[in-house]
């Protein structure tokens, strides 16, 4: 299968809030929470930003790195658990905003935090079977935790988009596989504003079981081990889980740190592992290999083995900021402004 | 503004598409069917063109008494922007402190929510501008 990443782009809102400022509101120890989650700040979207605007910005950044006719894009899938509409696809607006409309297929995906990686796999299949020339997969979220809930310290906003194709490939996807079970670790019922989660249950039987099993299955399928990869990136609901999963698999912190964005921007859900991958592609050299494992509650993991090609140099441009430039931000808001921005104040 | 009108203007709001008069060469935004200078001579000669995503603030004012759909963002700056090589338009300047907006400031187009009538209504999207990378 000669399918790969032709281009990629990310977007992270510029506002940040510190766990200490959230904790102060609820009368708990913010420093302890910050240490416990390994999060020093999380991104906050403006009132005029949502999954549609973030997906459009990420996709437009993707197009700034590559010369293709948007009419050659045959499919757009947007994965998110915070689509602005319950009925009316985000993907239709993205398609119109990049002038890929109307001769293409488009749909929205939902699988907690791994809807974006599922969209990549779908596009790979469509490209490999020659049903489309290029496909775009987006993972983006503006997720929220209930006020005072532990999730409020991590749930943030951001997204990344990937262009999949057979031509002009800058990073080849050597292999992908998934691991899926029915696990009730985290859910949100229709019509509910905030999700619920299984507390401690979200760790071992959910995140770790799926990420580690999927990763080991990929090692086995590809005949590789951690020493074969320069970079590894995992879904990052907080700053502790991905580091712990990486260590259990035999990866060093040096292999993990480039894709580990959660300490500074929080958990961008569907955007998380994809923004981490984008940050790696921003600096990776030709022939370097990247190990990627996403995770979505409910639950499942998608894993990818990727090799960077010489053509990666073609994506380096000053027309859009790097992921690192977007991650780095000093525009902090206080809890009251955050609550206003996120619609937590009833009016 | 009603849904049909907003929907018709989607291409220009999403992608800054204007028209160029084939008779006098003037670029208009929003797009026009007929050139206001050439009238009949321009009929059938109005060409759709992509405007630049980059421009310069020509004039601005800070809005403190915002309409309903902008009340969460007040105060904010609204500016007249000279787009590179084409025409002028008016748009909010976002992603900065309104007091940082200056005449001559370089700005670039961004894609944002413009508003909604009520929480269960269709959401309108389109361009706003933010400081260009060189200004940040
Ligand atoms: Zn004219």
Q: How many CB pairs (< 8 A) connect A and B? A: 47
C-alpha B26 to ligand 1 mean position (Å): 6
Residue A270: phi and psi, rounded to 5, are -60, -20
Nearest chain B CA: its distance from A343 CA (Å):
9
Nearest beta carbon to residue A97 from set B15, B73, B94: B15
Closest partner residue to A57 among B72, B110, B114, by Cβ?
B110
Do A326 and A275 meet the contact criterion of CB atoms below 8 Å apart?
A: no
The closest alpha carbon to A54, from A143, A123, A169, belongs to: A143
Nearest to A93 among B72, B94, B125 (CB): B125
Using a CB–CB cutoff of 8 Å, tell me whether B72 touches chain A.
Answer: yes
The full set of domains in chain A, from first to last, is 4-170+313-341 (3.40.47.10), 173-311 (3.40.47.10)
Residue B136 in this model has a pLDDT that exceeds 80: no
Predicted confidence (pLDDT) per residue in B77-131, tens digit:
999 999 998 899 999 999 999 999 999 999 999 999 998 888 888 999 999 999 9
Q: Do B72 and A340 touch (CB under 8 A)?
A: yes
Closest CA to A343 of B63, B116, B108, B88: B116
Domain ranges in chain B? 17-50, 54-135
Q: Which of A57, A81, A152, A288 is catalytic?
A: A81
Q: Is A235 a catalytic residue?
A: yes
Note whether B7 contacts A: Cβ–Cβ < 8 A.
no
> Which residues from B are below 8 Å from A56, CB to CB?
111, 125
Give residue B71's pLDDT band: very low, low, confident or very high (50, 70, 90): confident
Does any CB of chain A come closer than 8 Å to the CB of residue B47? Answer: no
Which one is predicted more confidently, A346 or B60? Answer: B60
- Calculate how close chain A gets to B59, using CA atoms only, in Å: 23
What would the CATH number be for the domain defined by B54-135? Answer: 2.40.50
Is a pLDDT exceeding 90 seen at residue B68?
no
Collect all residues of chain B within an 8 Å Cβ-Cβ radius of residue A97.
14-15, 111, 125
Tell me which of A49, A57, A83, A113 is the catalytic residue.
Answer: A113
Check if A214 is active-site: no
Q: Which of B95, B122, B128 sits opposite A14 (nearest CB)?
A: B95
Distance B82 CA to ligand 1 centre (A): 19
Q: Does residue A194 contact residue A149 with C-beta atoms inside 8 Å? A: yes
What pLDDT does A202 receive? Answer: 77
> Residue-wise pLDDT tens for chain A (347 aa)?
689 999 999 999 999 999 999 999 999 999 999 999 999 999 999 999 999 999 999 999 999 999 999 999 999 999 999 999 999 999 999 999 999 999 999 999 999 999 999 999 999 999 999 999 999 999 999 998 888 888 999 999 999 999 999 999 999 999 999 999 999 888 888 888 888 887 767 788 899 999 999 999 999 999 999 999 999 999 999 999 999 999 999 999 999 999 999 999 999 999 999 999 999 999 999 999 999 999 999 999 999 999 999 999 999 999 999 999 999 988 999 999 999 999 888 76
Judged on CB neighbours under 10 Å (0-12, 13-18, 19+), B39 is exposed
Question: Residue B72 and residue A47: Cβ atoms within 8 Å?
Answer: yes
What per-residue confidence (pLDDT) applies to B9? 87
Kindly indicate whether the ipTM for this predicted assembly is greater than 0.90, answering yes or no: yes
Residue of B nearest to A342 (CA): B72
What pLDDT was estimated at residue A1?
61
**Chain A residues whose beta carbon lies within 8 Å of the beta carbon of residue B111:** 53, 56-57, 60, 97
Whether B96 and chain A come into contact, CB under 8 Å, resolves to no
- Contacts with A330 from chain B: Cβ below 8 Å: none
B123/A96 Cβ within 8 A: no
Residue among B29, B81, B35 nearest B60 (CA)? B81
- Name which of A49, A93, A340 is nearest B112 (Cβ-Cβ): A49
pLDDT at B1: 60
Strand extents, DSSP E, chain A: 4-11, 15-17, 42-44, 73-79, 105-109, 134-142, 157-165, 171-180, 186-187, 196-197, 231-234, 289-296, 300-308, 331-332
A57 among known catalytic residues: no
- Phi then psi for residue B57, to 5 deg, are -70, 125
Cα–Cα nearest to A95, from A129, A126, A63: A63
- Of A57, A214, A235, A288, which residue is the catalytic one? A235
Nearest CA among A273, A277, A274 for reference residue A288: A277
């Amino acid at each position: 299968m000669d399918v790969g990443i032709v281009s990629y782009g990310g977007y992270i809102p510029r506002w940040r809030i510190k766990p200490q400022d959230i904790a102060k509101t609820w009368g708990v120890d913010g420093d302890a929470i910050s240490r416990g989650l390994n999060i020093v700040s999380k991104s906050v979207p403006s009132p005029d930003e949502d999954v549609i605007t973030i997906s459009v910005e990420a996709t437009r950044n993707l197009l700034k790195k590559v010369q293709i006719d948007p009419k050659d894009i045959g499919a757009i899938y947007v994965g998110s658990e915070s689509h602005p509409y319950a009925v009316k696809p985000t993907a239709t607006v993205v398609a119109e905003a990049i002038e890929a409309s109307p001769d293409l297929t488009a749909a929205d995906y939902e699988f907690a935090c791994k809807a974006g990686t599922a969209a990549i796999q779908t596009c790979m299949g469509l490209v490999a079977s020659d049903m489309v020339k290029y496909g775009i997969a987006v993972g983006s979220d503006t997720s929220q935790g209930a006020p005072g809930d532990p999730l409020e310290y991590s749930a943030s906003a951001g997204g990344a988009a990937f262009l999949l194709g057979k031509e002009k490939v800058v990073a080849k996807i050597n292999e992908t596989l998934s691991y899926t079970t029915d696990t009730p670790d985290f859910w949100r019922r229709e019509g509910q504003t905030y999700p619920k989660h299984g507390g401690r249950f979200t760790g071992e039987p959910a995140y770790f079981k799926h990420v580690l099993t999927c990763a080991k299955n990929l090692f086995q399928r590809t005949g590789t081990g951690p020493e074969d990869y320069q970079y590894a990136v995992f879904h990052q609901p907080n700053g502790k889980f991905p580091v712990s999963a990486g260590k259990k698999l035999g990866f060093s912190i040096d292999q993990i740190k480039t894709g580990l964005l959660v300490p500074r921007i929080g958990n961008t859900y569907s955007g998380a592992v994809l923004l981490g991958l984008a940050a790696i592609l921003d600096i990776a050299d030709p022939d370097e290999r990247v190990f990627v494992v996403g995770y979505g509650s409910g639950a499942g993991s998608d894993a990818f083995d990727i090799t960077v090609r010489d053509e990666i140099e073609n994506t380096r441009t000053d027309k859009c900021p790097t992921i690192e430039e977007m991650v780095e931000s000093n525009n902090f808001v206080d809890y009251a402004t955050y609550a206003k921005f996120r619609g937590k104040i009833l009016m | 503004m009603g849904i049909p009108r907003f929907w018709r203007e989607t291409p220009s709001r999403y992608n800054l598409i204007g028209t160029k008069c084939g008779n006098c060469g003037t670029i208009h935004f929003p797009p026009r069917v007929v050139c206001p200078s050439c009238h009949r001579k321009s009929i059938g000669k109005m060409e759709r063109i992509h405007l630049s995503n980059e421009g310069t603030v020509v004039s601005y004012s800070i809005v403190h008494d915002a309409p309903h759909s902008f009340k969460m963002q007040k105060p904010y700056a609204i500016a007249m922007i000279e787009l590179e090589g084409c025409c002028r338009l008016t748009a909010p300047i976002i992603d900065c402190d309104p007091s940082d907006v200056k005449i001559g400031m370089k700005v670039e187009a961004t894609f944002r929510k413009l508003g909604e009538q009520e929480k269960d209504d269709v959401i309108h999207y389109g361009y706003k501008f933010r400081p260009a990378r060189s200004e940040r």
